[in-house]
Amino acid sequence: MDKPELLVMGVLPDWDLEPMAERYTLRLLYEAPDEAAFIAEHGAAIRGIVTKGEIGASAELMDRQPRLEIVACYGVGVDAIDRAYCAKRGIPVTNTPDVLTEDVADLAFALLLAAARRIPAADAWVRDGSWVREGSMPLTTRVWGKRMGIVGLGRIGSAVAKRAEGFGMAISYSGRSPKPGVPYAFHPSPAALAPEVDILVCCAMGGPTTQGLIDRAAIEALRPGAIFVNVSRGSVVDEPALLEALRSGRIAMAGLDVFWNEPAIDAEFASFPHVVLAPHAASGTVETRRAMGALMQENLAAHFAGRPLPTEVKP
């Protein structure tokens, strides 16, 4: 019996590709010198797409795959997958939730601490001899006991809140509606939340419904000296307004893992000494990536065996 053919959109670790190659015929789009010619050659036989959150799958791409049955995302974010098109064709979409929650929350706090305590600058202070020449580096900002506001109290936002509790923080949040049973103060919008906090952390899901959610009004409502952290998507924030606030000092420090135009981000971000940058790597641990790959493969195996999908993203 022929193995199902899968279109693999982006690079995956060998620990995922090797077992998948035993069960499926893999067509590696990312190795193709001419993507259009590659799809023209293989599209008619493709039964599944394996993609990543930042790559997604467009309607135009999927329309050239008449036998397509499933889109399996290696990651949580599915905003770059045309889900309306998938729903129209009855193509299920799966993702890998939960397994990366704690690592993303860890990085949110790592970025927060790195920005507030100026850890990259402290490292350089030791390495370049400034400690010997100039003595102690300038004082930094405390994180413990601050007021944290979380935009999006889903899985990741809730995990960030648990960590904030351990730092003695007063926690509040914004979202589409209040969460039942949550002890934190609710605000109906980021603009309403912003003036009440010292630290604003963006954990909202990406996609059209949240594009520009943290808008200019929210950014301008922050108190001068605020700290901003984003482990969500660059699209959730009005990036020109964010850059303006970083330039003026309204946002005193920031830790950013995501940007509007990744990886070719606005060069101005690299010019700010009070901003800590990461390359969209919040889930980038060996443990989490193994778990993500295993869950993605479970979804594929379930589909081709006719079983319920473990983590289907509902329309």
Residues with catalytic annotation? 233, 262, 280
Q: In what order do the strands lie in the sheet with 275-277?
A: 185-187, 170-174, 147-151, 199-202, 226-230, 251-256, 275-277
* Contact call for residues 59 and 81 (beta carbons, < 8 A): no
Sort 126 into a burial class: Cβ within 10 Å, 0-12 / 13-18 / 19+: exposed
| CA–CA distance, 165 with 93 (Å, rounded to integer) | 35
- Would you tell me the crossing angle of helices 286-304 and 14-23 to the nearest 10 degrees? 10
Indicate the SS3 state at residue 152: coil
Indicate the SS3 state at residue 82: coil
DSSP 100-119: THHHHHHHHHHHHHHHHTTH
Question: Tokens 């400690």 identify what position?
Answer: 131
